[in-house]
Chain A
């Protein structure tokens, strides 16, 4: 599904140049659940932004479902994005002025899904994340865990092929965090590819593969289970 070849991204200000991604090579197959780990500033979020086509690479190539998307216009990227990718953020990023149901319906709205189909889909997905009873509430009226469940619902309502989650449990307590992870696992088991950035080794255990990053490079890739060995190596 995803092929990155020598992909680099450099942030420049007037004084300094920061290499956020440094010749990254990475392949992700259909149906994988990949966790991306690494210390702050290692380029995890940049990687996720590039994968989600929210940011464009400076060099290298990015093939998404057999199409090179590294040189596409903003408009074309938006089209690819809305058809294939769902996003979940650490800080939920719900629109405060919209209700829960309206937030979830938003991606369908931009896909011009007919209202009947849309309402049905929103109801189903809200039931699935067990938040249907709060569908008319505003985000601020919900707990963090509930808000993140809404965000997950919004990410999956279009049935995307890929879900990108940027520390989805970062702002949640353990119970709520586990709940969200279980949701993701369940989606993965149904065939959705998931890439999740996380700080938490325990959470990474939910993934089928862990990608470790440092200073903009991919250090190692481990299939879960070989993690202990990898850790030993680093030490």
Chain B
């Protein structure tokens, strides 16, 4: 029996090449999309699950409510106090991500990325495997440094480098005391080199590990087995008050995050690197399923449309003794077989597409067919999709009564309504996907073209590695660079546009009572006096800095109050209670110690509008611009003259290499940095574009098949109409108008759905492209869908309409 089913299924597949091709191509595209997205989802959800006792590890994070800061990192004194206060904490470890740092080995200086400063227990905590050295003791001395295998290979060309010396940032020599296996790719952390935390007091000041305001440490704790993280978190409520007493700032809290959830659910300030997004995982899963569903609908539609052709077979089988369940089984078998063929093709497509997809996502995603669970999933998937596609047609086809079909009085019209509904579904989802693609692209365009409030074009920026500063070198650097005709100006600052600004302090409007509670949290950026001219920022009131306002003394017991100047943005002025004009001449006081005895009093000399300093994801913060001190010359911006930047760049590299030999040249264009901030969205736009392309293609394929059957069924009618004088145009109109109505109906459904979902998507941006800028997309998507449908049907209809009528009539 099975052999018989298989045989007739195969013959049905080969005997109806158009039908089979449409279904197999559609299903294979749908399946390929699903396989690829499943691999992506599998990878995204695998993050950090591999660490030993991962379910007991949590990250400690910190919120500052007054400044809207949600930090992934906390201050260094917190970890030891937590361990001391709460016995349920089995172990705790701290890592400070210092990013790019200049390493000198012999004569060669390179910028080493992904450098951390960590507690000595970090390797035991995460059970990192060592290929050389002792994990427990590798980071005990201040001059110890531990490398990953990859870093060792890159720096020394070998992993046999125990005892070798690395000079860090031209400051001190460090000895390699351990080599660990590279971190897996699927972890939210990113480091390849670790230095000992005991170096911090030596390089950053003896009290550096006691500063409660220095929230730079990723801190992980492991609970004793059986303890509830929520209960521990609840106990944190009075932790800061208990340890800080009166010094405790208002509106700050520490929290716990499960390690395994960080990659997909955490989007805090100061993450290691941009995390994944659960929303993206859901969205792409849904979209891949939609493509598959459209293909499944094709199968259902084409099979029921073709039902008259198979009705006779059903009748005969029933007459000779088949009961309905046997027929249902037979048809399900056919759909499963067809799906199996599609699955083989899908696997071939996946093989072809996966490398570029993995490269596109920058994730090492692979498919291993020799892996038994994968095989079981693929086979199970084939059966499920086959049954999903085949069930309705199987029930529909098997219900035919033999007396009626053998007499030839059955037509396939019974399911016509459902078929129309399914076509509407296919086009509605395709149109919604098209609109989604358009909205993502519109927002990207908006982000690139919106007036940021300053001129970001033609800026080359250079960030200094950790530990380095330009003190003393800055003036000669600026003078030499500006001497070049293609360089317009050079400024430095503590942050550059495109960066998130996480620096902030408490400020007091002069005249208010001098208590800590009255301070207002405001972000601050330290800038060169020409910074506003360089970036072409307009002033709402007042003026820019003057050169003589850049150097100030630090307040001391002899001179407890120091005067200085400041420029505020509009929000900062408002937060302090002033309009831009009112703010001019007012004094903003910055306490320098917790006893409120030492002050810097800044006179407001100018107010600028709020500018989009960071990306459009982030709110424009209330910001105070002030003079730099030696810690804050971390970034320089070089404005290039219009035209070919080649000469200017070469000059920059020459001057830099000569004047700053310890820090390898490492410039970027500011534009590129902004583009990088929108990279995740750029990827989404491309993924949406690809998927909606597939959806439209598969839906159109189905429509093509449906139209060809309809035309075939109506051949005689067309012939008679032509004999009666209908023109080819009349005939094409006749055949297209039906489907046109369906596509229009699909729009009515797709528009509100797309509007709802895309409004949700846009909430990830604080600043969104206004609806008026993307409203046209709705009409455009409707036109694209209509054009695709018309072209498809007209192809069929045109052939029928131009045939000689006698041919059509002879057909019967």
Contacts and interface: CB of A to CB of B under 8 A. Distances in A.
Interface stretch (A25-33, A49-57, A202-210): A49-57
Nearest to B327: A110
Interface string B282-325: 00000000000000000000000000000011011111111110
Contacts of B402: 54
B403 interface: yes
B572 to A, nearest CB: 79
Pick from B11, B315, B403, B407 the residue with the most CB of A within 10 Å.
B403
A122 B317 CA distance: 17
Contacts of B318: 54, 78
A95 B7 CA distance: 13
B4 interface: yes
18 contacts: A54-B406, A75-B323, A82-B321, A93-B316, A95-B8, A95-B316, A97-B8, A97-B12, A106-B320, A106-B321, A107-B320, A107-B321, A110-B320, A110-B321, A110-B323, A110-B326, A111-B321, A154-B320
A93 B319 contact: yes
B1 interface: yes
Interface of A: 45, 49, 52, 54-55, 74-75, 78-79, 81-82, 87, 89, 91, 93-95, 97-98, 102, 105-107, 109-112, 154, 158
A125 B514 CA distance: 112
Nearest to A45: B407
B1 A102 contact: no
The 4 closest A-B pairs by CB, nearest first: A82-B321, A110-B321, A54-B403, A107-B320
A194 B455 CA distance: 98
B407 A110 contact: no
A69 B4 CA distance: 31
A216 B326 CA distance: 35
Given A102-B7, A106-B320, A110-B321, A93 B407 contact: no
Given A97-B11, A102-B7, A87 B403 contact: no
A75 B406 CA distance: 19
Contacts of A45: 407
A74 B313 CA distance: 18
Nearest to A97: B11
Contacts of A52: 319
A154 B316 CA distance: 11
B513 to A, nearest CB: 90
B401 interface: yes
Contacts of B316: 93-95, 106
Contacts of B1: 109, 112
A54 to B, nearest CB: 4
A20 to B, nearest CB: 11
A148 B200 CA distance: 98
B15 interface: yes
Contacts of A81: 319, 321
Contacts of B326: 110
A21 to B, nearest CB: 13
B324 A98 contact: no
Nearest to B399: A74
Interface of B: 1, 4, 7-8, 11-12, 15, 312-313, 315-324, 326, 401-403, 406-407
Contacts of B322: 78, 110
Contacts of A105: 4
Contact of A49 (B4, B11, B320, B403): B403
Given A45-B407, A109-B1, A87 B319 contact: yes
A74 B324 contact: yes
Given A98-B8, A110-B320, 10 more contacts: A45-B407, A49-B403, A52-B319, A55-B401, A87-B320, A89-B406, A97-B12, A97-B15, A97-B313, A110-B322
B323 A78 contact: yes
Contacts of B313: 95, 97
Contacts of B324: 74-75
Given A54-B401, A89-B406, A109-B1, A82 B320 contact: yes
Contacts of A79: 323
Nearest to A158: B321
Nearest to B8: A97
Pick from A79, A89, A95 the residue with the most CB of B within 10 Å.
A95
B103 to A, nearest CB: 73
A98 B330 CA distance: 14
Contacts of B312: 93, 95
A82 B320 CA distance: 6
B315 A93 contact: yes
Nearest to A74: B324
Nearest to A106: B320
A98 B8 CA distance: 7
A104 to B, nearest CB: 10
Contacts of B407: 45
Nearest to A95: B313
Contacts of A95: 8, 312-313, 316-317
B403 A109 contact: no
A60 B681 CA distance: 74
Contacts of A97: 8, 11-12, 15, 313
A75 B320 CA distance: 13
A74 B322 CA distance: 11
B396 to A, nearest CB: 16
B20 to A, nearest CB: 13
A107 B316 CA distance: 10
Nearest to B11: A97
A75 B401 CA distance: 12
B138 to A, nearest CB: 73
A105 B1 CA distance: 10
A75 to B, nearest CB: 6
B280 to A, nearest CB: 47
Nearest to B323: A78
A106 B11 CA distance: 16
Contacts of A55: 401, 403
Given A54-B401, A55-B403, A97-B15, A109 B4 contact: yes
A223 to B, nearest CB: 30
Pick from A45, A81, A110, A158 the residue with the most CB of B within 10 Å.
A110
Contacts of B321: 78, 81-82, 106-107, 110-111, 158
Contacts of B12: 97
A55 B407 CA distance: 12
B15 A93 contact: no
Contacts of B8: 95, 97-98
B6 to A, nearest CB: 12
A45 B404 CA distance: 11
Contacts of A102: 4, 7
Contacts of B323: 75, 78-79, 110
Nearest to B12: A97
Contacts of B15: 97
A109 to B, nearest CB: 6
A82 B326 CA distance: 13
Contact of A93 (B4, B7, B401, B406): B406
A174 B757 CA distance: 72
Contacts of A158: 321
Contacts of A91: 406
A109 B322 CA distance: 9
Contacts of B317: 95, 106, 110
A203 B315 CA distance: 27
A110 B313 CA distance: 14
A154 B320 CA distance: 8
Nearest to A102: B4
Pick from A105, A107, A158 the residue with the most CB of B within 10 Å.
A107
A105 B7 CA distance: 14
Nearest to B317: A106
B7 A54 contact: no
A95 B311 CA distance: 11
Nearest to B325: A75
A107 B407 CA distance: 21
Pick from A52, A75, A81, A111 the residue with the most CB of B within 10 Å.
A81
Contacts of A111: 321
